[in-house]
């Protein structure tokens, strides 16, 4: 189940005057940033997510440009997921607007998979005013591709005996994990459709793509994928980033922005009771020259001070180009088996307790008054 143009649809649902008009959610025109979501009316102009907002405005200056309202989207998402869980308990969130559902064994209660898919779409529209596209297939890959097949407001059913026919004419660009480099290789080999990919022997693909990538695309071309739906699957990472209106060289500004991002990441981690052992720094310069740096910490953390300290050390010590910064971001991953984690096992017990009280206070103030109302102080000096 994939909600259609979710952010933009939420805005059109609440503002009838936006319906039928191109709506772009993301940065404002004249600011540095990208498109987060575009309504289908905006997509007719070639506007899509991750497009620079300047290009979107060039293509359609008359569109409605809105800043994201994440809390609004979370409320709508919770409503949809509660509805899905009333149909089947086996629901796995893939993102805020997308889910895998296992409807095996529900035929006697609810009817055929197609009947269940229609009921899901009908109830989402009736109860939330949003449209969804549903794909039904024997595994995750086929169901996902089915949900994309007739957007918006689509329903596509692919029985097991129709999988190969369904995939055959599809562009290889629709397959999962196809990056720019693999796309260049496929183009050089004259592979444009899944049927053409399927005709290439695996050893030949391995020569050009390597064993891992070749095996993945070979399996997908045969329609082979996992059919496991795992409710409550833990996310792999938490990250936040920001794009500056003008490139920034001032380390004080970069440090302060990184502190705010680390606080957002840590707050999310504490809400979800996650502690990360690996901190990732992302830096982008002009021309989309992008670098990532990672460091494994001796202890997992959900404390913004520790995340910031590690990220800032990566920024100072990783021999990054001495250029103005266009984008900066930070994230954590590799969750601890025990949660939540302590900031430092060598801290005295009273200091650890004080740290936990401080973080709980920050979370309580954030919950009541919004982000950045209360933050910890942090030094720009390495190791402080």
| Residues tagged active-site | 98
Say which residues have a Cβ less than 8 Å from residue 199's Cβ, sequence separation at least 6: none
Burial of 120-150, coded b for 16+ CB within 10 Å and e otherwise, reads: bbebbeeebebbbbbbbbbbbbbbbbbbebe
Number of Cβ atoms within 10 Å of the Cβ of 33: 18
Question: Which pair of structure tokens corresponds to residue 189?
Answer: 């080999």
């Amino acid at each position: 189940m994939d909600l259609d143009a979710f952010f933009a649809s939420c805005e059109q649902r609440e503002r009838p005057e936006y319906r039928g008009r191109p709506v772009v959610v993301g940065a404002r025109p004249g600011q540095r940033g990208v498109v987060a979501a575009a309504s289908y009316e905006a997509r007719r102009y070639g506007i899509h997510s991750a497009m620079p907002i300047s290009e979107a405005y060039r293509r359609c200056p008359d569109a409605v440009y809105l800043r994201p309202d994440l809390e609004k989207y979370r409320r709508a998402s919770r409503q949809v997921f509660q509805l899905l869980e009333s149909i089947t308990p086996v629901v796995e969130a893939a993102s805020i607007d997308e889910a895998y559902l296992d409807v095996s064994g529900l035929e006697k209660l609810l009817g055929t998979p197609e009947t269940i898919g229609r009921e899901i779409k009908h109830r989402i529209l009736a109860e939330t005013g949003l449209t969804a596209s549903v794909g039904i297939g024997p595994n995750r890959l086929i169901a996902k591709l089915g949900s994309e097949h007739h957007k918006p407001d689509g329903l596509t059913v692919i029985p097991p005996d129709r999988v190969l026919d369904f995939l055959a004419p599809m562009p290889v660009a629709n397959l999962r994990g196809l990056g720019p480099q693999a796309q260049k290789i496929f183009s050089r080999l004259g592979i444009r459709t899944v049927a053409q990919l399927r005709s290439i022997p695996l050893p030949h693909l391995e020569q050009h793509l390597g064993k891992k990538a070749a095996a993945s695309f070979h399996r997908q071309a045969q329609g082979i994928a996992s059919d496991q739906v795992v409710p409550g699957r833990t996310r792999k990472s938490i990250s936040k980033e920001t794009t500056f209106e003008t490139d920034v060289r001032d380390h004080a500004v970069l440090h302060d922005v990184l502190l705010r991002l680390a606080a957002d990441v840590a707050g999310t981690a504490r809400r979800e009771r996650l502690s990360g052992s690996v901190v990732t720094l992302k830096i982008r310069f002009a021309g989309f020259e992008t670098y990532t740096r990672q460091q494994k910490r001796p202890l997992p953390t959900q404390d913004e001070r520790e995340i910031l300290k590690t990220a800032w050390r990566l920024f100072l010590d990783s021999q990054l180009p001495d250029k103005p910064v266009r984008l900066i971001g930070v994230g954590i991953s590799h969750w601890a088996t025990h949660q939540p984690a302590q900031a430092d096992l060598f801290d005295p017990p009273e200091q650890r307790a004080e740290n936990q009280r401080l973080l709980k206070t920050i979370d309580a103030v954030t919950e009541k008054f919004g982000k950045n109302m209360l933050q910890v102080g942090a030094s720009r000096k390495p190791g402080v």
